[in-house]
Structure 1
Amino acid sequence: MDYYLVLLLMLPFVWAFIRIVTSNNLSSQTLPPGPHPFPIIGNILELGKLPHQEIAKLSKTYGPLMTLKLGSITTIVISSPTLAKEALQKNDQAFSSRTIPNMAHVFDHHKLSMAWIPTNAKWKNLRKASATQIFATKPLDATQALRQTKLQELLDHVNQSCKSGAPIDIGQLVFTTVLNSISNTFFSMDLAQYDSNLSQEFRDLACSVAEEAGRPNIADYFPALRLIDPQGVRKRTRIYFSKVFGIFDGIINQRLQLRASSKGFKESNDVLDSLLNLTEEDNSEISLVDIKHLLLDLFLAGIDTTSSTVEWAMAELLHNPEKMTKARDELEEVLGKGGRVQESDISKFNYLRAIVKETLRLHPSVPFLLPRKAKTNIEICGYIVPKNAQILINVWAMGQDSSLWQSPNLFMPERFLEQDIDYKGQDFELIPFGAGRRICPGLPLANRMVHLMLASLVHYFAWKLPNEMRPEDMDMAEMFGLTLHRAVPLLAIPIKSL
């Protein structure tokens, strides 16, 4: 059912609830400015189909610190690096909680997920396990050879595609590579093959979860409707989570049986074994259920955002052929004509690294980051951010700000050769992975994989658009969700060049 039709049908049921909620007196507080809200629904209708873009337009009128009333939820939108720094650095502790979407309540994920739970002892344990067992430099270095193997499989597949001259879906190709790289790191096994139905099913699952998490949901704006689930978001999410947990249960149960057997079991030292070892420690605070929900977060979020970034980067290079040529020239200069791309070379690829930064500026993986929530009243720039307000950091709007970036709509990697800005949480002009204690834990792995795959696709192959399409005619539209996908899959024809 259409989103706005559902909204209109539910108005009579929420009227009494809203009267109670809005009776709270906030008149003594000075909220940041914002558009005048309609009765009951507030500013919901102003979100449109691309909320990050519509809210960015509103911020140009009402300023980089803006109030929106989304049903019964007071939302504060931040759209400038200065204010983002104040929120995520100076007031990081006060804004470290989350506004929990209704879809995250499925299987109590909101109580078990590192992404959604408060920054309490459980969160610290999960964060520590992720850092030490997965994303620290030592375990990442130890799995370099594995990623190199998966990268070679990618190149072999593209080589085969060169013979047919048919276009390939770059997003799907990269997704399968990332999926198998991470599944081998975690489980010592591939979960899909190129052009397989299973690979497409995994991608559909990841995209569907991102869409459900990002879509405007009446039950989020009017919490009294959560049990009713008028748009069916929670029902669909349960189906998606069940499919993923079913796969994890099979893998974990098989591993537990092998570990229990004294015959021929040799610990693989992959992530799953490391996490299972943690559960067996005395007084361990990490359970098998925790592991399943941690894997859900890392799989669905990490694979989807990484592959989406590579797809956007390739789209921009095909859209701007002169940038593609410049990137290929740099790679040939550093590696030689037939040189092999390796992770140790990434620091030498100055222009390629600038391409990745420019891609993340124009197409941040999570345009609002994950929503935060104020634990108490906080004063910012003379305004009050009230307790329990939802905090949205519009990193997409910051990337489009003409006061920060010259010609912000243009793809210009050169801008990052002229200024020392990185995306690791210290330069608030560019924080696609967030900042502060809630910064994305998977950033170190994503950084390696994005550069490795992008460099390889550019270095080993020339690319052309199908059907004699001109670069300027490419559809560069976005599709909103928790992850910012392309509205149209990127199809291109590879031509072997090495």
Structure 2
Amino acid sequence: MEIASNLLLCLILFLFAALSRLLWRRQSRKVKNLQPPGPPGWPILGNFFDLGTLPHQTLSKFKPKYGPVLGLKLGSVNTVVIQSAMAASQLFKNHDHDFCDRKCPIVLTAHNYCQGTLAFDRYGQSWRMLRRICSMGLLANRQTYETAGLRRKCIDDMIRYIEKDAATAQERGEEGKVNLGHFLFLMSFNLVGNLVLSRDLLSSGSKEGKEFFDAMSEVMVWAGKPNLADFLPGDQEEHGAGHESSHKNFEGKEGPSTISNQNVTIIILEMFFAGSETTSSTIEWAMAELLRNPKSMTKAKEELDRVIGVERKVEESDMDNLPYLQAVIKETLRLHPALPLLLPRNAMEETEYLGYFIPKETQIFVNAWAIGRDLESWEDPLEFKPERFLGSKIHYKGQNFELIPFGSGRRICVGMSLAHKVVHLGLASMLHSLDWELGSNICHETIDMNERIGITARKLIPLEAIPKKRVMYP
């Protein structure tokens, strides 16, 4: 009797184990087959044409129907778009390493640019070495503090160039409007030139300055446009080869001990691209928003007058005492992140994310533009209201996922600390030194705020305004 009872118990346990294993397999298959929802695509091309001319805006419109995690097929490339603070939090907190890889777009592979780029290099020893070089050397906190004088000089030069250009225009009988984007770019570009080459590279009236500004704008536009070549199967093999080589150093030797002259050139080039384009664009957007919102402009100027007065220049050391100015910049970055989709990441391995199966080599976009305008995170998200940040602990340093213009995690922008200083001092100096008018035939309600998209999102129509001398320094 006891033997029979034991046999029955063993049979029950066996059946229970078999049933559990069967259910586990079914559940595993169910999870593994569960892809993020998204719109149906075309044969071969997939959802390529669903991106539109402004992909960050187009993709955000899919969120009400498909939710905060959007699945797309771009050619042969699986793609996931993250469009809420909650989804971004799960990615950066729990899957940062899984999704910290990147691929260099085909348009940037000329002259072996893809071999050693900090922005687009695949994750590995070589990239980590590059990151350390930039974060501990060129862009370390100590280094940025020591170069405060260079920032002051380049911003002073910009104010002087603006005043000179406006005066020249008035002498010709014109209103005296200046193109703010042009002068902001020259300031940012010369600042990087002083940081890495110890000299100015462009002057306000130089032919080369305008040509380089136009050329860089074109590069940023073409590099940011969806390119079908990046999504065809044959190109993925080439990217795979790049992944293997990224675990060698830049002279082809094993280990991350040395870098080549070619790689130094790429690092410097990226500093010019990233440092000049993003900071100048952010200040231009901030000025556009302030000119559209005269009450906010008045509050910012009143704060500057109260803290700084009219007998000295605004300095970086004043920034902690300018909470409204800080709020203006946070609000600008919320509405106008320089990289609306950040830079795309790549899944290093098969990953389960928020219940979805993400295959290896899946491309990951984080729609910082959509997250910054999400009703779930922000009240009146389309309104420019710097006051929302007064008394708030929300910052853009990568820990508050409703505001991530610089990204987060391992791939957060290495130049964030420098950009923070340049944007604050640049905007404060423009507001403190000069009054700004829009001129005839335009008012604050009619300022065009449309975007021109590339890797970065600049104003489609550059901002023009008339500067008037505001304070006189001793």
TM-score range, shorter chain: 0.7 to 0.9
AA matched with 1:194? S
**Partner of residue 195, structure 2:** 185
Residues 347-356 or 283-292, more deviating: 283-292
Could you tell me how far 1:223 is from its partner in structure 2?
4.1
Percent identity at matched positions? 41
Residues 448-457 or 214-223, more deviating: 214-223
CA contact under 8 A between 2:103 and 2:122: conserved in structure 1? no
SS at match of 1:494: strand
**Partner of residue 231, structure 2:** 221
Q: Is residue 2:263 matched to residue 1:290?
A: yes
Q: Is residue 2:130 matched to residue 1:101?
A: no
SS at match of 2:79: strand
**Partner of residue 168, structure 1:** 178
**Partner of residue 13, structure 2:** none
CA contact under 8 A between 2:81 and 2:366: conserved in structure 1? yes
**Partner of residue 158, structure 1:** 162
CA contact under 8 A between 1:133 and 1:139: conserved in structure 2? yes
**Partner of residue 207, structure 1:** 217
Count of matched residue pairs: 419
**Partner of residue 427, structure 2:** 454
Of residues 50, 54, 60, the one that matches 2:64 is: 60
AA matched with 2:214? D
SS at match of 1:224: helix
Could you tell me how far 1:124 is from its partner in structure 2?
1.8
CA deviations 1:329-370 (Å, max 9, x no partner) are 001111012321111111111001111111111010001111
2: CA distance, partners of 1:114 / 1:494: 38
**Partner of residue 145, structure 1:** 149
1: CA distance, partners of 2:224 / 2:357: 26
2: CA distance, partners of 1:32 / 1:100: 24
CA contact under 8 A between 2:102 and 2:123: conserved in structure 1? no
SS at match of 2:113: helix
2: CA distance, partners of 1:434 / 1:479: 21
Going from structure 1 to structure 2, the CA distance change for 1:27 and 1:217 (only over 3 Å counts) comes to farther
2: CA distance, partners of 1:427 / 1:333: 31
TM-score, normalised on structure 2?
A: 0.85
**Partner of residue 6, structure 2:** none
CA contact under 8 A between 1:125 and 1:286: conserved in structure 2? no
Could you tell me how far 1:118 is from its partner in structure 2?
2.4
Could you tell me how far 1:101 is from its partner in structure 2?
1.3
Alignment of 1:221-300 (within 5 A): 221-224=231-234, 284-300=257-273
Of residues 124, 134, 140, the one that matches 1:130 is: 134
Alignment of 1:348-359 (within 5 A): 348-359=321-332
CA contact under 8 A between 1:331 and 1:349: conserved in structure 2? yes
Of residues 410, 415, 418, the one that matches 2:388 is: 415
2: CA distance, partners of 1:195 / 1:407: 42
CA contact under 8 A between 2:166 and 2:178: conserved in structure 1? no
Could you tell me how far 1:104 is from its partner in structure 2?
2.4
Q: Is residue 2:353 matched to residue 1:380?
A: yes
**Partner of residue 362, structure 1:** 335
2: CA distance, partners of 1:494 / 1:190: 24
SS at match of 1:160: helix
**Partner of residue 313, structure 2:** 340
**Partner of residue 13, structure 1:** none
CA deviations 1:7-29 (Å, max 9, x no partner) are xxxxxxxxxxxxxxxxxx99952
SS at match of 2:384: coil
2: CA distance, partners of 1:218 / 1:155: 43
Q: Is residue 2:446 matched to residue 1:467?
A: no
2: CA distance, partners of 1:321 / 1:339: 24
Alignment of 1:425-440 (within 5 A): 425-440=398-413
CA contact under 8 A between 1:218 and 1:225: conserved in structure 2? no
SS at match of 2:112: helix
CA contact under 8 A between 1:102 and 1:226: conserved in structure 2? no
**Partner of residue 392, structure 1:** 365
1: CA distance, partners of 2:159 / 2:68: 44
**Partner of residue 254, structure 1:** none
CA contact under 8 A between 2:83 and 2:370: conserved in structure 1? yes
Going from structure 1 to structure 2, the CA distance change for 1:225 and 1:287 (only over 3 Å counts) comes to closer
SS at match of 2:73: strand
Could you tell me how far 1:466 is from its partner in structure 2?
2.7
CA contact under 8 A between 1:69 and 1:75: conserved in structure 2? yes
CA contact under 8 A between 2:31 and 2:356: conserved in structure 1? no
Which of structures 1 and 2 has the bigger CA Rg?
Answer: 2
CA contact under 8 A between 1:89 and 1:435: conserved in structure 2? no
Could you tell me how far 1:387 is from its partner in structure 2?
1.1
2: CA distance, partners of 1:473 / 1:413: 21
2: CA distance, partners of 1:313 / 1:416: 15
Could you tell me how far 1:457 is from its partner in structure 2?
0.5
1: CA distance, partners of 2:296 / 2:165: 24
SS at match of 2:131: helix
CA contact under 8 A between 2:31 and 2:355: conserved in structure 1? no
SS at match of 1:467: coil
TM-score, normalised on structure 1?
A: 0.81
Q: Is residue 2:276 matched to residue 1:303?
A: yes
2: CA distance, partners of 1:415 / 1:206: 35
SS at match of 1:110: coil
CA contact under 8 A between 2:83 and 2:371: conserved in structure 1? yes
